[in-house]
Chain A
Amino acid sequence: MRRIMINFEKCLGCHSCELACAVVHSDNQNLLGALMEKKIPMSRVVVGRSGTTNYPLQCRHCSDARCIKACLAGALYRDPKTLTVQQYVQKCVGCWMCIMACPFGLIAENTNGKTAGKCDLCTDRDIPACVNACLTGALVFEETANYNKQKRLDYLIEFPKKEEVSANE
């Protein structure tokens, strides 16, 4: 399954992903039109910062999703095809159990004030809007297996240098 993976060191904190997310969840599907809408659309990705690192974060679509278990109205469910965590908006009663249950704080009150809102991984699109908007490649959409393979390769390239350093010490 493809997921949004984050290369933290590449995030410059431009917040473009936030804008793109709101736009893709708007009626007009463009930035200028989205701004004119009565109810401004909700961005489901947030760029946070800790120390000197920026973190663009959105629902991780956990395999063991506490939000689904916590949802009293049965609005949150696992989509069998994409294995993502999705929401029947009509069923949501705005009890905020999911907001409390999410360990990462990545579910929030929707701008309509009545339901919860979260990342739907843009399953109707080839690539999620936030990934598309990311100019530096901090956000990528790929198989988790590819991501950890690349990470391993990167580590191995650096590994001999680390060996030398420790040998010289």
Chain B
Amino acid sequence: MSNNLKSIDSASVEMIEKARQDKVEIVWDRWEAQQPQCGFGELGICCKICLQGPCRINPFGEPKHGICGATADTIVARNLLRSVTGGTATHVDHAYEAVEILGLAVEGKVPYGIKDIGKLNAVASKLGLETENRTPQELAEKIVKIAFGDFGNSSGNPMRWLTATAPAERLEVWKNLGILPRNPDREIRAALHQSTMGVDADPVNLLLATAKLGLVDGYAGLHLGTDIQDIVFGTPQPVKTEANLGVLKPNCVNIVVHGHIPFFSEKMVEWTEKLEEEARLAGAEGIQLAGMCCTGNEVLMRQGIPSAGNYLNQELAIITGAVDALVVDVQCIMPSLARIAACYHTKVITTMPIAKMPGAEHVEFTPHEADACAQKIVRKAIEAYQSRDRSRVRIPDYKAEVWGGFSVEAIVGALKSVNPEDPLQPLVENIKNGNILGAVGVVGCNNVKTTQDYNTVELVKALLKENVLVVATGCAAHGLGKAGLLNPEGTKKYAGEGLKAVLTAVGNAAGLNDPLPPVLHMGSCVDNSRIEDLLAALAGYLGVAMKDLPVAASAPELHHEKALSIGTWAVALGVLTHVGLVPPVLGSPLMTRLLTSDLEQLVGGKFYVETDPVKAAAGIAEHIRQKRRVLGI
């Protein structure tokens, strides 16, 4: 395969070539070595749940049943529920740790605090807490108690974080379907129980459980995570920074943080600044910290730390020969990193007790010892810098300006400069008059099966031309950033006339002398919660159900179980959710039909599978137009 088919990112292409010259095996080589991939797995009709298996259903003949008697429908439905449960578990675990740290911070036991009193009050209010005459500590304590209350909820009542966050219309829909989650841990446990050998054989019942787990992800994962992280680290406000491997600096100690957990990466930001002098003493010009994947997004949104790229850039960062430490926490971390780093001077440092890697150094990061751990890691990077082999360094000269930090609060803030009394009015007005056709949240990963960033960038360009406002999170946002779609030039170049006019007017009113970027970067994958908040605000303003809004979601290059669980949540919200790669469900025609068609009657949303990004953009635009017709706009 030619390198241009591997990525549209010139920095990636250059580093893929360097990897070949350096004789280092990277993800594209491993993908090629894995061809052909198993068709049964691809279709979701391989069952490995019990030890009588593995069983496969033959789509072209016999056998049509697994040894236990399970049909393709049952097998696909069970596998999907397990995948979504896996995705949900990651976000719920992430959010639980955030709550734990806020609790410890209130007790003064860890070096974190309450940074955003406004958000604290907002979260307290949505939970129905009295905010008058209460200190932030008291409020935070109550919030932690409610969050932990959900995790200890032994009643049959739904989770409080969910009922406090989701619109009433949705609660009614989910209640009628019997899918309101009670206790996130219990639902995860129940899903593993339900999908094991010899329990649920009914694909529809399994699909409803899948939707329930999507809700667990949305509220006990995404919303809970974002809410608590904003309280501790502040709600993002617009920032300018840069994206791509070109942000690495030849004469600096380069540290890349990769993973998902801001409690770790925020400390890295703090200590790279504090220990800069030590780096100078070691002969460097300073320390360049860069982020990757969602931990990159967390520090980009709040601290303006530049992005070194997305999922498929992680190995390539090492290939530059210029990264002194690649520090990882959890999720989306390739086990190959240590093997590749062994060919260079780069130290791969793991930090989390559940995510270690043979060949990597492990510096356990605990909230209590956060400062000491971060210092230790920065010093290891400075030490590694001194053994950097300059003859092997090649930093690709590509980076793009990126504007990030568009939390809902920041978007409303920008709109307030147009209409201080009624900030949503200008946005809604422009949707009504057609300057903005609708909005699409473009989220998710890279997937080596498709050219890096191609689906995402082409889809977004086509949507912008149709005057669709795009918001982005996750690795999709990094990809769009690298392609120049997260800065005002992107608006001038790619936005349709109506959209361009609106973004320019808001930008000028906000005193930027430039349009807003055509794609608003809303944060990490956990921050998909922000997109729901925006939709809920719009639906509330218009007085319509969220499912009737002229909006859609898209994960053009998904690979992780997390993308499936977030997508399931989006569908449960009533949003048409496009996926640019085919999930392993086609082995069951029934499940395929349920997911891509019948679900719409139940929840208002459904999955839309289209692997061609330009066709997908057309399909999404048509869906938006249809929603507009129903609304009479």
Whole-angstrom distance between the Cβ of B281 and the nearest chain A Cβ: 54
The answer to whether A153 has its CB under 8 Å from any CB of chain B is no
Of the candidate stretches A38-46, A55-63, A91-99, A120-128, the one touching chain B is: A38-46
Q: How far is the CB of B607 from chain A (nearest CB, A)?
A: 15
B43 within 8 A of A: yes
Inter-chain contact A35/B586, CB cutoff 8 Å: yes
B586 near A19 with CB under 8 A, answer: no
Which residues of B sit under 8 angstroms from A20, Cβ to Cβ? Answer: 36, 39
Binds B, one of A10-18, A68-76, A79-87, A154-162: A10-18
5-37 of chain A: CB within 8 A of chain B? 14-16, 18-20, 22-23, 31-32, 34-35
Closest to B60 in A: A22
Is residue B59 contacting chain A, with contact meaning CB distance below 8 A?
yes
**A111 contacts partner chain B, Cβ-Cβ < 8 Å:** yes
Q: A32-B586, A35-B43 are in contact. Are A132 and B60 (CB under 8 A)?
A: no
Which of B58, B61, B586 counts the most A-chain CB atoms under 10 A from its CB? B61
Q: CB < 8 Å: which of B36, B43, B582 contacts A133?
A: B36
Q: Is A100 an interface residue (CB 8 A)?
A: no
Q: Given A31-B42, A35-B586, are A132 and B36 also a contact pair (CB < 8 Å)? A: yes
- For residue A31, which residue of chain B has the nearest CB? B39
Number of B positions contacting A (CB below 8 A): 15
Whether a CB of chain B sits under 8 angstroms from the CB of A135 is yes
Q: Is the CB of A32 within 8 A of B582?
A: yes
Whole-angstrom distance between the alpha carbons of A130 and B630 in the complex? 51
Please name all residues of chain A whose beta carbon is closer than 8 Å to the beta carbon of B148 when the two chains form the complex.
Answer: none
- The B contact surface, by secondary structure, is loop
Report the separation of the CA atoms of residues A133 and B61 in the bound assembly, to the nearest whole angstrom.
18
Q: Is the CB of B38 within 8 A of A16?
A: yes
**In the bound complex, how far is the Cα of B582 from the Cα of A32, in angstroms?**
9
CB neighbours of A14 from chain B (8 A): 38, 40
Check if B60 sits within 8 Å of A16, measured CB to CB.
no
Report how far A19 CA is from B45 CA in the complex, Å.
12
Restricting to B526-560, which residues have a CB under 8 Å from any CB of A? none
Least Cβ–Cβ distance between B54 and chain A, in angstroms: 9
Question: For the complex, what is the distance from the CA of A35 to the CA of B47, rounded to whole Å?
Answer: 19
| CB of B94 closer than 8 Å to a CB of A | no
A56 to chain B, nearest CB (A): 14
Q: List, in ascending order, chain A residues with CB within 8 A of B78's CB.
A: none
Known: A32-B582, A32-B586, A35-B586. A19 touches B61 (CB 8 A): no
User: What mask results when residues 35 to 64 of chain B are scored 1 for a CB within 8 Å of chain A, else 0?
Assistant: 010111011000000000000101111000
In the complex, which residues of chain A have a beta carbon less than 8 angstroms from the beta carbon of B58?
15, 18, 43
Query: In the complex, A144→B56 CA distance in Å?
Result: 33
Roughly how many angstroms separate A35 CA and B590 CA in the complex, as a whole number? 13
Instruction: State the CA gap A31–B40 with chains docked (Å).
Output: 10
The complex places the Cα of A42 from the Cα of B59 at a distance, in Å, of 10
In the bound complex, how far is the Cα of B40 from the Cα of A133, in angstroms? 13
The A-contacting residues of B in range 575-619, CB under 8 angstroms, are: 582, 586-587, 589
Tell me which residues across on chain A come within 8 A of B38, comparing CB atoms. Answer: 14, 16
For A108-145 the 0/1 string (1 means CB < 8 A from B) is 00010000000000000000000011010000000000
CB distance A35 to B36 under 8 Å? no
**By the criterion CB–CB under 8 Å, are B40 and A40 in contact?**
no
Q: Which of A18, A20, A34 has the most CB of B within 10 A?
A: A18
Question: A52: shortest Cβ distance to chain B, in Å?
Answer: 17
Bound Cα distance from A15 to B587, whole angstroms: 15
**B578 CB to nearest A CB, Å:** 17
Which residue from chain B places its CB closest to the CB of A133 in the assembled complex?
B36
Question: With the chains together, A24 CA to B444 CA distance in Å?
Answer: 33
Which residues of the other chain, A, contact B60 by a CB distance below 8 angstroms?
Answer: 18-19, 22, 34, 40-43, 111
Instruction: Chain B residues near A31: list those with CB within 8 A.
Output: 39, 42-43
Which chain B residue lies CB-closest to A135?
A: B36
Contacts A16-B38, A31-B42, A135-B36 given; indicate if A43 touches B582 (C-beta within 8 A).
no
Q: How close is B221's CB to chain A, nearest CB, in angstroms?
A: 31
Give B contacts to A, CB under 8 Å.
36, 38-40, 42-43, 56, 58-61, 582, 586-587, 589
Query: Could you give 28 example pairs across A and B, Cβ below 8 Å?
Result: A14-B38, A15-B40, A15-B56, A15-B58, A16-B39, A16-B40, A18-B58, A19-B40, A19-B60, A20-B36, A20-B39, A22-B59, A22-B60, A31-B39, A31-B42, A32-B582, A32-B586, A34-B60, A35-B43, A35-B59, A35-B586, A40-B59, A40-B60, A41-B60, A42-B60, A43-B58, A132-B36, A133-B36
Binding site for B on A (CB under 8 A): 14-16, 18-20, 22-23, 31-32, 34-35, 40-43, 111, 132-133, 135
6 further A-B contacts with Cβ under 8 Å, apart from A15-B58, A35-B587, A43-B58, are A14-B38, A18-B60, A20-B36, A31-B43, A32-B586, A35-B586
Pairs of residues from A and B, 4 with the lowest C-beta to C-beta distance, nearest first: A19-B39, A22-B60, A43-B60, A133-B36
